[in-house]
Each structure stands twice: as C-alpha cells, then as structure tokens.
C-alpha cells in the first residue's frame, strides 16, 4: 500500500504547492480466511505475507507500538498529531473523570 501511495503521489505532485500530511482509513477489514480481491491484488494468497504481518503485530505488542515499521515511515518522527480540539475522555477513562466539589 505504501508503494501504491507513493506512486499515486508522484503522479499528482506539482511543484510550488504546499502539501500537508494525511492519514489513511482502512475499512471493511476481514479475517484472514476471507479474501476480498481488488484491482491491485495479484489474486493469489501468499501465506508468507500473512506470517510476516502476524510477526510484526506480535513484536509491536511485545516491544511497544512502532517498534517495527516500514522503512518509508522514517526513523525519527518530528511531527505530532494536533489534538487541540480533541474531545475529553471522561466517559472512557477513569483518570479523566470530572470531579465536582460540594
């Protein structure tokens, strides 16, 4: 997916324009026993890729999120997500529960 994204960006890139980072939302994810092919899929199931992704997921759980990443993601992340308008989590996190003094 990263390779396709870079190819698409190379096709639409225009010099002297300001660009911002953006995210990708993955929807309709399915279990590994189901396979929804697309225009970009080779059509063949590769168990080595499944094993690789399971290993990456397991190591990221064991060593912390981001322990293993794709090389194109870069080593040093100099930017951080802006969260100035993030909603409070007091309905899902005890430590952010509102306290009312009587």
Domain boundaries, the chain: 1-25
pLDDT tens, residue by residue, 26-58: 777 777 677 666 666 665 667 888 888 888 888
The pLDDT value recorded for residue 73 is 74
pTM of this prediction?
A: 0.35
Per-residue buried b or exposed e for 84-93, using 16+ beta carbons within 10 Å of the residue's own CB: eeeeeeeeee
Q: Is the pLDDT of residue 24 over 80?
A: no
Q: Give the contacts of 72 (CB within 8 A, at least 6 positions apart).
A: 2, 6
Q: Which of 11-20, 25-34, 72-81 has the highest mean pLDDT?
A: 11-20
Q: Is the pLDDT of residue 88 over 70?
A: yes
Closest CA to 26 of 2, 50, 45: 2
> Which token pair is 25?
């939302």
């Amino acid at each position: 997916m990263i390779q396709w994204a870079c190819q698409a960006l190379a096709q639409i890139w225009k010099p002297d324009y300001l660009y911002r980072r953006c995210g990708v939302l993955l929807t309709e994810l399915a279990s590994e026993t189901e396979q929804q092919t697309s225009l970009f899929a080779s059509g063949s199931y590769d168990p080595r890729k499944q094993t690789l992704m399971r290993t990456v997921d397991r190591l990221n759980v064991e060593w912390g999120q981001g322990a293993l990443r794709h090389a194109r993601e870069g080593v040093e992340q100099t930017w951080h997500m802006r969260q100035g308008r993030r909603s409070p989590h007091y309905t899902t996190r005890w430590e952010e529960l509102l306290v009312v003094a009587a």
